[in-house]
Structure 1
Amino acid sequence: MGHREDLLEGAKRCLLQKGFVRTTARDIVKESGTNLASIGYHYGSKDALLVQAYVSLIEGVGEAQEGLGWGAGDARTAPLGSLERFQNLWADIIRSLPESRAVWLLSFELVLQGDRIPEVRRLLAEAQREGRSGLASLFTGIPETELDKETVETEGRFYVTLLNGLMVQWLFDPDSATDADQLTEGLRRVIAGTARDS
């Protein structure tokens, strides 16, 4: 690996250990075995490097989630649009949360720092857009490249909202967080209530 890659890997480790705000350029240099000048040469600034490291961490979580749906419930074989598919996919997502806990904690730190670091705020907005598309694809079974804008902007937003809420609950207290069965039963009751009212 060259200095650019070493810096990125070192920055990722620093983010997971110390977070965005507490990571210094010297921390990254120490962790990566490079030098301070390399940060400016390859990334322009420490913040730009940390943003790239965060993007890389999020991409890693996304790649891990691409394998979702092949767990015990075998969600991808459940009929599209079924409550069974919904329940099994959320069960898989919830099972994956412990492995990515440090990244989700970092995400919430960045949400809180967004006003102070405009580049991070822009990045988080982009990540939300990509998340809508990825989750809509996961639940509908339609490849991201074939999703229409309306699906991404409605169903995708719905799934991102559920995911963000679940992450907050899970990070706060995993023992009392909503599970896939409860989430599915809640959706079933909402659907039944809507059908009664119409």
Structure 2
Amino acid sequence: MGHREDLLEGAKRCLLEKGFVRTTARDIVRESGTNLASIGYHYGSKDALLAQAYIALVEAVSDTFEAGGHPPAGTEPGSLERFHEVWRNVIRTMRTPGSPWHLSMEIIAMGDKLPEVRDHLAKAQREAARGVIPMLMGGLEEDVPEDDVDTLGKFYMTLMMGLIAQWTFDPGTATRADELTEGLRRVVEASGGKVPGPTTGEPS
């Protein structure tokens, strides 16, 4: 690997160990075996590098939302079954030791101390909203219209952030996929929609 890749891998390890605020440029240099000048040359700043490292960590975790990159078997796009299976996979990553999701809470709590990181991740969040839509609704990411990003995408990201907060704060009382799905079913039913009830009793 070159210095750019070494820096990214070093920054990822530092983030998981120390978080955003406690990670220094020297920590990254020491972990990556590079030098301080390389950070500015390849990424512009330490904070820009940390933002890219976090995005890379999340992308690696997100690849497991759909097994093998495919929608859950036997589920139709837009169905409660698809909703349940995708969110069950998402929640599974929050239970995994070393999960990077707790870093999102640090950004929310300490964002004023990390304005450059916050700005980078705010831009990335929109693309994350675009990417989650095909997982649940089918289709291709490149075909998702902007209106869907601003409605469905933001709805799903709101659920995501709520789940991250709950699982970071207290996993014992955090929402499970079957509870989330049943909540959605009741909302739709109360609005007059006709939807079948999901399979219950299976672990999230």
TM-score interval, smaller chain: 0.7 to 0.9
Residues 111 and 195 (structure 1), Cα distance of their counterparts in 2 relative to 1, 3 Å cut: same
* Count of aligned pairs: 193
Q: Does 1:141 align with 2:141?
A: no
Mapping of residues 43-62 of structure 1, within 5 Å: 43-62=43-62
Give deviations 1:131-186, integer Å, cap 9, x for gaps.
21111111001111111222221111111111111111111111211111111111
Alpha-carbon distance in 2 for matches of 1:118, 1:146: 32
Matched residue SS, 1:75: coil
Question: Corresponding residue for 2:31?
Answer: 31
TM-score (norm: length of structure 2): 0.84
- Tell me the distance in 2 between the aligned counterparts of 1:121 and 1:95: 26
Residue 116 of structure 1 corresponds to which residue in structure 2?
A: 113
Q: Which amino acid is the alignment partner of residue 41 of structure 1?
A: Y
Q: How much identity, in percent, do the aligned residues show?
A: 57
Query: 1:79-118, CA deviations, whole angstroms, 9 ceiling, x for partnerless residues?
Result: 2222122112221221222237541111211222322332
| Counterparts of 1:88 and 1:4, CA distance in 2 | 36
CA distance in 2, matches of 1:49, 1:6: 11
| Distance change in 2, residues 1:41/1:192 (3 Å) | closer
1:41 aligns with 2:38: no
- Deviations along 1:44-93, one digit per CA (max 9) or x if unpaired, are 322222222222222222333343786xxx73421222212211222122
1:187 CA drift (Å): 1.1
1:182 aligns to what?
A: 179
Structure of greater relative contact order (alpha carbons < 8 Å, 6+ residues apart): 2
- The answer on 1:75 being equivalent to 2:72 is yes
Q: Check if 1:3 corresponds to 2:3.
A: yes
Q: How does 1:99-110 map to 2 (within 5 A)?
A: 99=96, 102-110=99-107
Q: Higher helix proportion, which one? A: 1
CA-based RMSD: 2.2
Using the TM superposition, give the Cα deviation of residue 21 of structure 1 relative to its aligned residue in structure 2, in angstroms: 0.8
* Cα distance, 1:128–1:76 mapped onto 2, change above 3 Å: farther
2:13 aligned residue: 13
Q: 1:86/1:42 Cα in 2 relative to 1: closer, same or farther (>3 Å)?
A: closer
Higher alpha-carbon deviation: 23-32 or 113-122? 113-122
* Letter matched to residue 18 of structure 1: K
Mapped contact 1:136–1:156 kept (Cα < 8 A)? yes
The answer to whether the aligner puts 1:167 opposite 2:164 as a matched pair is yes
Which shifted more, 108-117 or 164-173?
A: 108-117
Q: Is the contact between residue 78 and residue 138 of structure 2 (CA under 8 Å) also seen in structure 1?
A: no
C-alpha contact (below 8 Å) 1:6/1:33 kept by paired residues: yes
Q: Find the residue that maps to 2:181 and give its secondary structure.
A: helix
